Amino acid sequence: MKTAFITGVTGQDGAYLAKFLLDKGYRVVGLVPQRSTSSFWRLDYFNITDSIELVYGDVTDLSSLVKILRTFKPDEVYNLAAQSFVGVSWDQPILTCNVTGMGALNVLEAVRLTDNNIKVYQASSSEMFGEVQEPIQNENTPFYPRSPYGVSKLFAHWMTVNYRESHDMFASSGILFNHESPLRGLSFVTRKVTDGVARISLGVQDKLILGNLNAKRDWGFAGDYVEAMWLMLQHDKPDTFVVSTGLSHSIKDLCDVAFNYVGLNWKEHVESNASLFRPAEVNILMGNSDKAKDTLGWVPKTSFKEMVEMMIEADIKRVEKEIAKGHM
C-alpha cells in the first residue's frame, strides 16, 4: 500500500484527489491547518473524512512538515495548499506569497531534509501565463503573471524545477488551467454563476452581479484533472505538464450555458459591475495539453457543458434544502 500526503486536502482538488487515491488503494494522509473552525464539507461530500488520516500542520511551518514526513513516510506528496483566490491576492499579497509561494518551498525543503526519494507534485497554475505571450499556452510559453497569486505560483513552480535539477528530486509540476466542480468555493466566478442560477430559478433572487463578462478561460472538471496529477508521479521521470481542455469560454458563454439549463435568458438577470474588475486583468487563457496526452495518456473526459450542468444540479439541491430549512 502506497502512502500519499496531501496538503490542501480540504480544498476542491484535495477532496477529489483524496477520493481518487483511496479508490486506488492508497493510504491517504491530509494536512489540516490549526484553525478555530475547520471545514470538512468537501470530504464529507464523498463520505471519506474518516478514511483519511488528518494531521495538524501548516505549509508555512517547515518543522511541522518535517515531523509529518518522518512520521508517515509517504511515497508521494501532493502540494495543493494555497491562498487560491486570485482576487483576494491583491488584498492579501503577503499572505498569498507566504502560503502559495513559500509554502511550496517549505514542502520541497521538508522532502529534501527527510527523504529525497519521495515523489512531489506541485500544483502550478495557468495564472502564471497572465498577459499571454502566445494565443495557446504550452510548457514552453513565456510566463507573465498579472496578480500576486500568479507571481507566487510562478515562484513555487520555478522552485520545483530548481529542486528537481539541483537535488535530483522527483518533483513534477502540473500547470493546471481553470478546473471547476460542485466543490468549488462560492467566491469563484463559475460557482458564483451556478449558485446564482440555482437561486434565481428557485425564486430566491432576481439578479446576478458579475465583473468582466468578456474574460475567457479554459475550464475543465476538477475530477478529471486530479488523475493527471497522479499520472505525473507514476511517470518514469519528473517533468512539467500543462493540463487543460484546449477550449476557451467567456463569462458570457458560462452564463449562457448555465441559464439555458434552467430555461432562462441570462441577459435578463446578469449585470456587470466595474467595481468587481481586477486591477490587472488576464483576458484569455487557453492551454495545449498535447504533452500530457502523448506522455501520460491523459485526456479530459468531461465537457464544459456537462461540468456546468453538474454544478447547477448540485447547487439547486443545496438551495432547495436551505429553503426547506427556512434559511432563505
Query: What are the residue numbers of the active site?
Result: 125, 127, 149
Distance (Å, whole) CA 328 – CA 326:
6
Handedness of CA 108, 141, 95, 123 (dihedral sign): negative
Of 125, 126, 122, 127, nearest to 172 by C-alpha is: 122
User: Distance between alpha carbon 96 and the CA centroid of its chain, in Å?
Assistant: 15
- Calculate the alpha carbon distances from 155 to 15, 57, 146, 168, 240 in Å: 25, 22, 13, 19, 14
User: How many Cβ atoms are within 10 Å of 291's Cβ, its own excluded?
Assistant: 17
* Grid coordinates of 316: 439547486
Distance (Å, whole) CA 63 – CA 111:
11
β-partners of residue 250 are 216
Q: Where are the beta strands (DSSP E) in 235-284?
A: 240-243, 249-250, 270-272
